[in-house]
Chain A
Amino acid sequence: MSTIPSDLKYTKTHEWVRVEGDTALVGITDFAQQELSDIVYVEITALGKKVKQSEPIGFIEAVKATSDIYAPLSGEIIEANPQINKKEGDAPAMVNRDPYGLGWLCKIKITNPDELASLLDHEAYANLVQRSQHH
């Protein structure tokens, strides 16, 4: 079973968001990292850019597949996790080991706080995961 912390917000595309003031910390969920399995490379391609909600901001390479990362909120991508965005070693595997902690992906400076209401809470996200597991 995957972990779904109750103090985070979620997207339908399996990102999580932790709001700290006007900044959103973004990662992918435990369910998403399990689905992807061994993550070997992460790149935030939209670093420094202003992006709209749901636009691609980067991608994750796992051994079996590549997956896009989507902006959970509109804003400016102000930081990528320097411990993850490494091209060598097993640093990207931190996303597998600690998806809600050291494996965070990027920070977004929020430009439209109203969008927070459109994100899923942990119960709604848990329902979504349950449905994807039974398809």
Chain B
Amino acid sequence: MSKTTPFYPRHLAAGGKMVEFAGYQLPIQFRGIIPEHHRVRTTVGVFDVSHMGRIKVWGRDALQFINQMTTNDASNLAVNQAQYSVMCYPDGGIVDDLVIYRLPDHYLLVVNGANNEKDTAWLREHLTGDVRLENVTTEVAQLAIQGPKSEACLQKISSIDLSPIGFYWAAEGTVAGVNVLISRTGYTGEDGFELYIPAEQALKVWDAVMAAGKEFEIEPIGLGARDTLRLEMKYCLYGNDIDQTTNPLEAGLGFVVKLDKPGGFIGVDVLQQVAREKPRRRLVCLETENRAIPRPKLTVYANGDPVGFVTSGTLSPSLNKGIALAYVQREFASVGNKLTIELRGTRHQVVVVAPPFYKHGSRKK
């Protein structure tokens, strides 16, 4: 039996086409993937991301523990600052990608919904010293408000001034009279916020956000558009683009891997070696010249020889052409390189392009 998020009744009321995702009943779409995608790129949309896992970590040795478990350096975090990071296995394979918040009296780790139990167990297994850990996923609802009008929308019902909150920073405040954590984060390439809301107050906040956004034609957005939006930005999806068989360096996530962090982290030895020898393959952005859509698992060819495979692919609603992420051997990974994929017996040319696919997002720096 799949679970429901606190926003479930609103998805049904809005005509959401429900599917099971990460163990939850969630909307794949409401009005349609393409119109919902454009709504987020042009004004504002709302995503229920309550299926994400939320794990509280605190105690005297919490920072040391987090630094051991993740590849980025959490010691640089100021209070109310957030950080994108990765957890690795000792062989360098990826346990999960996550966002770490340093809050006044604890850390909050936000992990992929499908990995929530696995990650919690993995973290518990490695607990040392004075560290406490609590999975608070069911107590907290998470709502993403994304798009160029998200600040204007949310400001109407927020007790605090949102304009000083920088990208990947958070603040405590009230929204519609409910105490929430407001963070300027998201996975769409647009400016936006994620709200962490006590579950029992979730519907009150949803209704207020929808009312405040009416003048911007706010809409609920489904998982379908969430995927096309993140893919246009080359944001990785765990289970497609990254998993235990891939490492963060080949996935292009080296910017969150601090190989010389004091004390190291799980997997650092292998990743140092990968860095020395250079990854043998790279996760690259591929574009087709038409609406031929590369799908996951398709083989990528260079001069007739297989050199890689697609991990995510879709029609880009913003660019109106097929886009894909694919692992290809390093020597074929340069921008401008022409490769081919085979779709229903026909070879189609694809070209390696620089990330992101979509370059006109409103994301704040």
Binding site for B on A (CB under 8 A): 34, 37-38, 40-41, 45, 59, 61, 63-66, 87-88, 93, 96
Contact = CB atoms under 8 A, between A and B. Distances in A.
B314 A38 contact: no
A64 B32 contact: no
A34 to B, nearest CB: 8
A63 B223 CA distance: 12
B315 interface: yes
Nearest to B320: A88
Contacts of A41: 291-293, 315
Interface string B27-70: 01100111000000000000000000000000000000000000
A38 B291 CA distance: 13
8 A-B pairs closest in CB distance: A41-B291, A38-B34, A63-B33, A38-B33, A40-B315, A38-B32, A63-B315, A61-B293
Contacts of A96: 32
Contacts of A63: 33-34, 224, 228, 314-315, 317
A37 B33 contact: yes
Interface string B306-323: 000000001101001000
A82 to B, nearest CB: 17
A134 B320 CA distance: 34
B290 interface: yes
18 contacts: A34-B17, A37-B28, A38-B29, A38-B33, A40-B315, A41-B292, A41-B293, A45-B344, A61-B291, A63-B34, A63-B317, A64-B33, A64-B224, A64-B314, A65-B295, A66-B293, A87-B291, A88-B320
Nearest to A89: B320
A35 to B, nearest CB: 9
Nearest to B222: A37
B33 A59 contact: no
Interface string B274-313: 0000000000000000111101000000000000000000
A65 to B, nearest CB: 8
Nearest to B295: A66
Nearest to B32: A38
Given A37-B29, A38-B33, A59 B344 contact: yes
A87 B290 contact: yes
Contacts of A61: 291-293, 315
Contacts of B32: 37-38, 96
